[in-house]
Amino acid sequence: MQDPTLITQGFTPPLLLSNFRLAAFDMDSTLINIECIDEIADAAGRKAEVAAITEAAMRGEITDFKDSLRRRLALLKGVPMSALEGVLKERLQFNPGARALCAALKSAGIKLVLVSGGFTFFTRFVAAELGMDFVRSNELEFKDGVLTGGLVMQSWGEICDGEEKRRMLLQCCAEIGCRPEQAIAVGDGANDLPMMGAAGLSVAYHAKPKVREQAMVAINDGGLDRLLDLLN
């Protein structure tokens, strides 16, 4: 009987770690324990409203991620930078096994990608802590030390949605000279499905039902390092 806390679909483990050259990770609720935007909203007294939109977007009930993000950002207008600093220092924690999994993958020569619909304010810290090789996320716009409710346009675009996550995975594969089948993609929400679908191994971590159903591996209990149980 298959372990209900670690479900595999479409392949028979173990897999060879040497078959993979790149691993792409979502950040919020995957590598870390929170949805950063919801915690920022807490400072504005709008957490319930923002979190409801986040939950619907992650479940796939809101299919336009860009629209859902803009709606949430508008509710954060006027929140001071100090509130984000508080979230980073007091609320953000790495999920169990995140450091161990990333360290093991790096030791095996696998390049790490952090690709998030969240914000560079947090991804810079997470990427530095975990030794990420590539990072893509959204840049919050500040004016006079407070959020404007908008984002800063970057060279690749404004909003890192599901399709941008997929493009980033494929771009990084091309940059290091590997095939998408040699990539692992790990996420928890509906906006992770495009990159998970492009990767050779898709992993759902404590994920929404729609994501668990479509992933090749679903970790439903325990830490991220449980993935190492399937890799030799």
The Cα 185–Cα 113 span in angstroms is 9
**Structural contact between residues 44 and 18, judged by C-beta atoms closer than 8 angstroms:** no
Both tokens of residue 202? 């898709």
The Cα 179–Cα 136 span in angstroms is 20
Virtual torsion, Cα 82, 88, 89, 94, nearest 10 deg: 170
Residues belonging to the active site: 26, 28
